[in-house]
Chains A and B, each alone.
Chain A
């Protein structure tokens, strides 16, 4: 049923992505591909993977931006499904293949019902849905539903593959519906925000902005200014003078 659930649990499972520490290494995208090409949405088809023009399904794409201005910088930006509260990708689906789970808000595709009309991908502003040309159905991030509830995994591993692998801990997984959860606290403390709020999709995932750049030497623990070294005397001073000359 593509109507959004009328009664919702309190849980809003999602990701908080810290743009301040992401180094753009693509490890999250690679581990996502690795896990999900064997998971519920498997396979994530690759066409011509070793050819001149490879094309394939990925749930996670890492963009890098040049942000200009006074505080100019390069920002690495992972983009994946935001598991929106108002997901038009679900309501436009004519078959009922797309749905939003009432209990935790995860947006999923039932591939057995999908006719591959692609309308959901048109309805998503974030490019979260990718069509599998080989399977003829739409695929998307499942928030690693086959990991986060998987009792065969160690408890510490019950997080999405992208979160598990991030070497800089730029990705956090948790319940954004619980105001006391670690992710909700992070969003509060760091001013986490929605992407394209003007679209009105109310994304669950939040992004943490890069921290202001630390320009002063003092801000990184160094002395506020460089001071000349005192002139050495004796033999060392003699050698210094000879070499400097």
Chain B
């Protein structure tokens, strides 16, 4: 699948933002959220900012962005529509929470109640995003049980790393955030490796033979394509990535998204004097890693329409 940068930026940034909002909701529910206005303002700005930039970025690849509001109407059947609705609904607890946390006042007493609502909305929105991909049967690398947990835990991971960094910058005590960040990095790494292993081994269900129905006669190979240059189908769904590049990018993704943040968290623990730069760099490196991971999520996914062009799902060159 063509890795559209607007969608890659969207899913990565909004995932991190919802992860961050989800964690502060949990801290508020547990009564562990420090009431420091400056920390509150910056954390809410980072959380809502990444979410909003991500959502706006997602409209960039539309043919008619001015009609984007129409996408809120078909939540009964469409995960994309559900995601749109969920992301807008999530602004309600997020803004209430932000005002309560920053300005204090009457809302402050309600933070323990708004917090869980915010966390729930964040989780639901990320699940909707993941299900847009999970529900597409023609793309086997997306249509499997690994995708939703991957999206959820990567959002939790980047959110926790951001929150750990912010807490360190403002010297605010946030008990357990480093452990939460480290644990989510490990779980996310395990899930990503599991995803790669499982999708790499999966035997393709559809073949050029089943796509044409000519398998009863014999093996089907393309003799002549319908057109001489690439068309929309091949540009959008026939994206090819060289196998050696994919292997290298996987290593880069694993190092940047998981191993480097883990090492930085460990270094911050080991060398207290340098814990600030280590903890601040960790989420930034992780975000670059997740962008790489997300790019691969698209670039490595194959759509069954390529079968009509004589390319097989399990052929590395396809």
Chain A residues near B (Cβ < 8 Å): 1-3, 19, 24, 26, 29, 53-58, 61-75, 77, 79, 88, 90-97, 113-119, 121-127, 130-133, 135-137, 193-200, 207, 209-210
Contacts and interface: CB of A to CB of B under 8 A. Distances in A.
Contacts of B84: 94
Nearest to B217: A67
A136 B81 CA distance: 19
Contacts of A55: 229-232, 235
Contact of B70 (A54, A61, A95, A197): A95
Closest 8 CB pairs of A and B: A116-B63, A69-B218, A136-B63, A94-B71, A61-B226, A127-B305, A94-B81, A95-B70
**Residue from A61, A64, A95, A199 with most neighbouring chain B CB atoms (10 Å):** A95
A90 B80 CA distance: 12
Interface string B206-242: 1010111110111111111111111111011100000
A29 B213 CA distance: 21
Contacts of B305: 124-127
Contact of B217 (A61, A64, A73, A127): A73
B101 to A, nearest CB: 33
B80 A94 contact: yes
Contact of B139 (A58, A91, A117, A122): A122
Interface string B232-257: 11011100000000000000000000
Interface stretch (B129-137, B155-163, B195-203): B129-137
A196 B80 CA distance: 25
B220 to A, nearest CB: 5
Contacts of B79: 92
A70 B77 contact: no
B212 A195 contact: yes
A171 B265 CA distance: 65
B64 A67 contact: no
A63 B226 contact: yes
B220 A196 contact: no
Contacts of B216: 209
B78 A114 contact: no
Interface of B: 1, 61-65, 67-68, 70-74, 76-81, 84, 132, 135-139, 205-206, 208, 210-214, 216-233, 235-237, 303-305, 308-310
A199 B222 contact: no
Contact of B1 (A2, A122, A135, A195): A122
B236 to A, nearest CB: 7
B218 A95 contact: no
Contacts of A200: 137
A93 B132 CA distance: 11
B63 A137 contact: yes
Contacts of B226: 26, 29, 58, 61-63, 79
A217 B210 CA distance: 32
Contacts of B222: 63-66
B77 A199 contact: no
A61 B208 CA distance: 16
Contacts of B77: 2-3, 90-92
B311 to A, nearest CB: 12
A67 B138 contact: no
A126 B213 CA distance: 13
Contacts of B310: 65
Nearest to B70: A95
A1 B81 CA distance: 12
Contacts of B236: 118, 121-122, 131
B63 A114 contact: yes
Given A2-B74, A65-B222, A122-B1, A116 B64 contact: yes
A183 to B, nearest CB: 17
Given A193-B213, A196-B210, A113 B220 contact: no
Contacts of B232: 55, 57, 121, 130-131, 133
Given A53-B229, A77-B212, 17 more contacts: A3-B74, A3-B76, A19-B214, A29-B226, A61-B308, A65-B310, A69-B219, A72-B217, A75-B214, A91-B78, A94-B72, A122-B236, A125-B304, A133-B232, A194-B213, A199-B137, A209-B214
A88 B305 CA distance: 15
Nearest to B227: A61
A125 B137 contact: yes
Given A1-B74, A92-B77, A117-B80, A67 B214 contact: yes
B218 A68 contact: yes
B230 A119 contact: no
B63 A135 contact: yes
B214 A2 contact: no
A207 B213 CA distance: 8
Contacts of B76: 2-3
Contact of A67 (B132, B205, B219, B224): B219
Given A65-B214, A69-B217, A199-B138, A116 B62 contact: yes
A96 B73 contact: yes
Contacts of A62: 226
Contacts of B221: 65-68
Contacts of A93: 74, 78
